[in-house]
Structure 1
């Protein structure tokens, strides 16, 4: 059974421990949280990157956490209480193919890591990697709790459960947090009441990752949906920018015009950023991203960002400095604390559907709120998606199941069926076959 002898004996296994993003956020959050201490085993195929994070991690905080780069999954997982997965399935060169090769067929993607041609190929590439991870968890840490941050979230988490049905895994995503911030600013503007924390906006969340929806929202006793209807109507054409976050200044920001447009159609609040929402639909958004006030995130930008982070890594090591000792805004540490019995916590997670989304298939990976307590994650019943949204989401649920299965079995025919079934693949069959074949060939897959 799940057990730690004391809170000073926690072991976290970090798969993708050379990460310069998610891993550094964890280091920052652990360094300022005084409830826990222990060891973090950093495993990465790039062992040198994990070694550098070991140095930075051990400079972080007051020494309550010891970081160690390890060379095998077995060493990382043995004795682990918590497993965190944040890997890049492949390389940024692989992602460049995923995102930009379809452009020759007129298919543009704003992210390319969840759905669309890029998300599907990435899922096929990730499936055997996650199968290996699932088997290792089964063999070396079967009672651990697993937190996955890797995209495509639904496919990766589904593979974990298909390979090791007894796994205790959740997928975590911060997209809902941005919508809570939007609602908080709406309350301030429309009601003149300052919302101190975005968590004070209570939401009923349901859907699938990056295509998640809010059917109920409140602040204290106030129903926010009627207010959002007015807010959306007012800003639908011009867009709304969060305080200090102009959509022009960052490829990751938007003015929420896509979300407003979808709300006006379906009557529920989309709880993801416009870049993600746009990829789930065949519509006008990706044809004119500038008009809709969001960006297509190029992989050249990601490579530039990676290079800057590498330089920062070297600076931290030379200066003998740790990760920034401030809250990242992520909830991983609060989730870990709740699983270890240090209070209860409610947040949105991705887990197999046990009926918490009543009109999506059972066992599909869905995103809803969950109550997290000691050694337990209880999905909260969230009801049914609006019928129009259900029709859109169901198509992607079927595709994600097919991608997980095809990636595990190397079923090329099934993989192509999922590829062609994606709403962004509007080209004829022969062009779709050629694109699919070329993408697989360039990745040397299947």
Structure 2
């Protein structure tokens, strides 16, 4: 059994931390220390108590030492892995991202990656990541860094720009849900009940705007059934984790109608959920109004909902920490622990990952952060070279990828003019006049200025 130290930046996480701790508790060949660091120390202490309670459960096969640290330096020293999962700012700051654009009839279903919300959130996030990257270079330069924070692409780009030899990759589970969707299609046409890990998907693009050009179960190409499936299910939709109308009660659900609509046009499948895919498109296509969103059968996730959910999770965390609720130790469908095991040489895994482009996508610039499959093995993550997507799709992706690179340059230089060029070129801003775009941008920029000036 390997003994390792994991530094968890954002270790007060109310959701993902528990998933991660459970998966580690069920990993029979890893043990060691999980260092928790969070500006909300009280939340990190709760996760320490939850971790200690997980250690006591009979299902647990690997018991970890949970330590709360007071500084970035302390948690990073001696780390073999650094996991970063933070909320940049607060949900009140996120209200700027999601709801300020509504004054101009710009609606966002997520608001954390693309569109005006993605730009606004990046203003807060990049300065934190500049600090993280510099500290990792100083205190644990050989550690593997796993990023889960959005905007995924610009976070990963910051790590590599500040610390070029960093061993970092960005993980996103959006492709996993689409693999579940593909399993449902396979079962309907063949009767085969496959698990998502048995579906090999060829993926290429950028985070939350990644596209699948082939999906195979053994030698069966699932795309061969796609036209018939869409013809049958397009109107009512299909959700891989529940009824097609789940979006009416679950703000994170969707009916895959956006995904199917894109496939009808381009012959390749968007790999993210509809809530993310819609935000990379012209704002009149799927997000022109709440009623149009409803017609496409997904939902607008409000900040008020997120605050309510956060408060519920805090209450649950308190009960788990005190022992009032017994932790349920079960394996999730996430792959972080498997990827860690792979770079430690314990196994080999192929999964989708965000990395700098080193030729794995020939039609995007070198150095841009792209999402493709990669092979995880002994101290290596090697991206898989992709085949070209249809030219029309390349054009859509290239615009959004360039926007990320321009935005990063602007934030790095603390240059408001450059940042605005990325903002105004967001597809969701396509209905704005230049004066409207400038007015909205100025308002959102000023609200984030205290973060943007960090490390300046």
Counterpart Cα distance in 2 of 1:160 and 1:171: 10
Instruction: Name the stretch that deviates more: 407-416 or 227-236.
Output: 227-236
- Check whether the contact 1:59–1:321 (CA below 8 A) recurs between aligned residues: no
Q: 1:327 aligns with which of 328, 331, 334?
A: 331
Counterpart Cα distance in 1 of 2:234 and 2:275: 16
Per-residue CA deviation, residues 74-111 of structure 1 (Å, 9 max, x unaligned), is 11111110110000111100101110011001111000
SS of the residue 1:384 aligns to = coil
Equivalence map 1:112-151=2 (5 Å): 112-151=111-150
Task: Answer yes or no: is 1:393 the counterpart of 2:397.
Answer: yes
Residue 107 of structure 1 corresponds to 106
Residue 90 of structure 1 corresponds to 89
Aligned residue pairs, count: 439
SS of the residue 2:294 aligns to = coil
- Check whether the contact 1:24–1:323 (CA below 8 A) recurs between aligned residues: no
Task: Answer yes or no: is 1:436 the counterpart of 2:434.
Answer: no
Residue 362 of structure 1 corresponds to 366
- Check whether the contact 2:247–2:254 (CA below 8 A) recurs between aligned residues: yes
Per-residue CA deviation, residues 225-281 of structure 1 (Å, 9 max, x unaligned), is 121122122222221122534332311111000000000111101111000000000
Residue 166 of structure 2 corresponds to 167
Instruction: Name the stretch that deviates more: 110-119 or 57-66.
Output: 57-66
Counterpart Cα distance in 2 of 1:305 and 1:298: 11
- Check whether the contact 2:247–2:298 (CA below 8 A) recurs between aligned residues: yes
Per-residue CA deviation, residues 122-178 of structure 1 (Å, 9 max, x unaligned), is 112111110000000000010110000000000110011111101010000000001
- Check whether the contact 2:53–2:323 (CA below 8 A) recurs between aligned residues: no
Counterpart Cα distance in 2 of 1:74 and 1:170: 21
Instruction: Name the stretch that deviates more: 292-301 or 399-408.
Output: 399-408
Instruction: Name the stretch that deviates more: 119-128 or 319-328.
Output: 319-328
Residue 4 of structure 1 corresponds to none
Equivalence map 1:34-433=2 (5 Å): 34-61=28-55, 62=60, 64-195=63-194, 197-245=195-243, 246-282=246-282, 283-287=284-288, 288-319=292-323, 323-425=327-429, 426-433=431-438
SS of the residue 1:286 aligns to = coil
* 1:321 to 1:57, Cα distance in 2 relative to 1, 3 A: farther
Counterpart Cα distance in 1 of 2:28 and 2:327: 16
Residue 18 of structure 2 corresponds to 24
Counterpart Cα distance in 1 of 2:328 and 2:421: 45
Counterpart Cα distance in 1 of 2:242 and 2:108: 26
Report the CA distance between 1:70 and its aligned residue.
Answer: 0.3
Counterpart Cα distance in 2 of 1:119 and 1:381: 28
- Check whether the contact 1:241–1:256 (CA below 8 A) recurs between aligned residues: yes
**TM-score of the pair, normalised by structure 2:** 0.94
Report the CA distance between 1:8 and its aligned residue.
Answer: 4.0
Counterpart Cα distance in 2 of 1:410 and 1:374: 39
SS of the residue 2:373 aligns to = strand
Residue 6 of structure 2 corresponds to 12
- Check whether the contact 2:13–2:43 (CA below 8 A) recurs between aligned residues: yes
Counterpart Cα distance in 1 of 2:124 and 2:322: 36
Report the CA distance between 1:12 and its aligned residue.
Answer: 0.3
In structure 1, list runs of 5 or more residues that go unmatched.
1-6
Report the CA distance between 1:378 and its aligned residue.
Answer: 0.6
In structure 2, list runs of 5 or more residues that go unmatched.
none
Cα RMSD, aligned residues only: 1.3
Report the CA distance between 1:323 and its aligned residue.
Answer: 4.3
- Check whether the contact 2:49–2:322 (CA below 8 A) recurs between aligned residues: no
Counterpart Cα distance in 1 of 2:286 and 2:345: 44
Counterpart Cα distance in 1 of 2:322 and 2:66: 18
Report the CA distance between 1:324 and its aligned residue.
Answer: 2.9
SS of the residue 1:19 aligns to = coil
